[in-house]
Structure 1
Amino acid sequence: IKGTYRVDVDIPADDWINITKFYDVLIFNTGHWWGPDKFPKETPLVFYRGGKPIEPPLGIFDGLKVVLKSMSSYIEREVPSTTMKLWRTQSPRHFDGGEWDHNGSCLSKRLLEEHELDSWFDPRFGGVNKEARLVNSVIEEALVGTDIQLLNLTYMSEFRADAHPAIWLGKKDAVAVWGQDCMHWCLPGVPDTWVDILAARILHYFKQGEG
């Protein structure tokens, strides 16, 4: 082991712990930090509770389950019931032929067909893009019984294998310069639709008098 990364499952992050009662809308997400490629065995995440490592040690997805359960419980307890609470699902990647560091490419110029989605993203098929649906399943489980609403942007984005930036930068050497960027999206594009959906959800929430 070269080193470890500590995760305290019962201590909220400082950057949002003191603002929970200020905003009318709070949107949470997990980011792209919950794949085994981010924290291999040589540099694992180590989960702590009460200042001590959890024993036996948790794998990355079991650790994520504990983190999300703790976080959702904290949100339910500390955030006013009038605040609109949303949890955004994962943004999918579209690597083909391997991971970003194992000769994977992200150069598609076409939308995927609906019948192709499971072969690209369903964890049962073990593909390189399975992380989004795996993490989403953990998020959905953690939110059961809470008033935190799921903001599912994953499914619509799975179709857009053509919408990542590297090949659309207007340069012949774009991939050489910028790499196989399969995490970000072209602008304007997919994120604009996310914003439209979010705006509609917020307007509906407050028009219904829920907030």
Structure 2
Amino acid sequence: MLPEFSRENHCLNQTKPEEGSMPSYPGVDIVESILSNMKNQVYWLDITLQTQLRIDGHPSIYTGRGTSYEDCSHWCLAGAPDTWNEILYAVLLGN
């Protein structure tokens, strides 16, 4: 469990968004390099940072790792998946 989501600091019932950016995941540079060099153009919709900044963008107890609140569990309207769908819809309409 990440220190910022310790029992004393879990985000149950939190409403303020996270601030700043978090480091990218290993391999992101490799994926971006491969996609940019592909013969057929591929559009990669990277929602990682957007989801990290939302305090409700973490799966918490729904990952099957127990019932304790490790991080945020509010996946309700309008949550992170709804935001992903809106971004994807806008991209599809734009193309």
TM-score tier by shorter-chain length is 0.5 to 0.7
Q: CA deviation at 1:186?
A: 0.9
Counterpart of 1:201 in structure 2 is 91
Specify which of 30, 53, 56 is matched with residue 159 of structure 1: 53
- Taking only aligned residues, the RMSD between alpha carbons, in angstroms, comes to 3.1
> 1 or 2, which has the higher helix percentage?
2
Aligned residues: 83
Structure of greater Rg: 1
> For each residue in 1:158-196, what CA deviation from the matched residue of structure 2 results, as whole angstroms up to 9, or x when unmatched?
2112444659xxxxxxxxx62345487612201101000
Whole-angstrom CA distance in 2 between matches of 1:96 and 1:190: 20
Which is bigger in relative contact order (C-alpha 8 A, separation at least 6)? 2
Within 2, Cα distance between the matches of 1:135 and 1:185? Answer: 28
1:135-164 residue CA offsets vs partner (Å, 9 max, x unmatched): 322211221222111101112112112444
Q: Residues 4-23 of structure 1 correspond to what in structure 2 (within 5 A)?
A: none
Are 2:16 and 1:113 equivalent residues in the alignment? no
TM-score (norm 1): 0.32
Structure 1 unaligned spans of 5+: 1-94, 99-103, 123-131, 168-176, 206-211
Residue 162 to residue 107, structure 1, CA distance change in 2 (3 Å): farther
Distance 1:184 1:143, change over 3 A: farther
CA contact (8 A) 1:163 1:190 kept: yes
Relative to structure 1, is the Cα distance of residues 181 and 144 closer, same or farther in structure 2, using a 3 angstrom cutoff?
Answer: same
What secondary structure does 1:178 align onto? Answer: coil
Find out whether 1:96 has 2:2 as its counterpart: yes
Q: Give aligned-pair identity as a percent.
A: 24
Report the Cα offset of residue 198 of structure 1.
0.4
TM-score norm. by structure 2 comes to 0.63
Letter of the structure 1 residue corresponding to residue 43 of structure 2: Q
Q: Which runs of 5+ in 2 are unaligned?
A: none
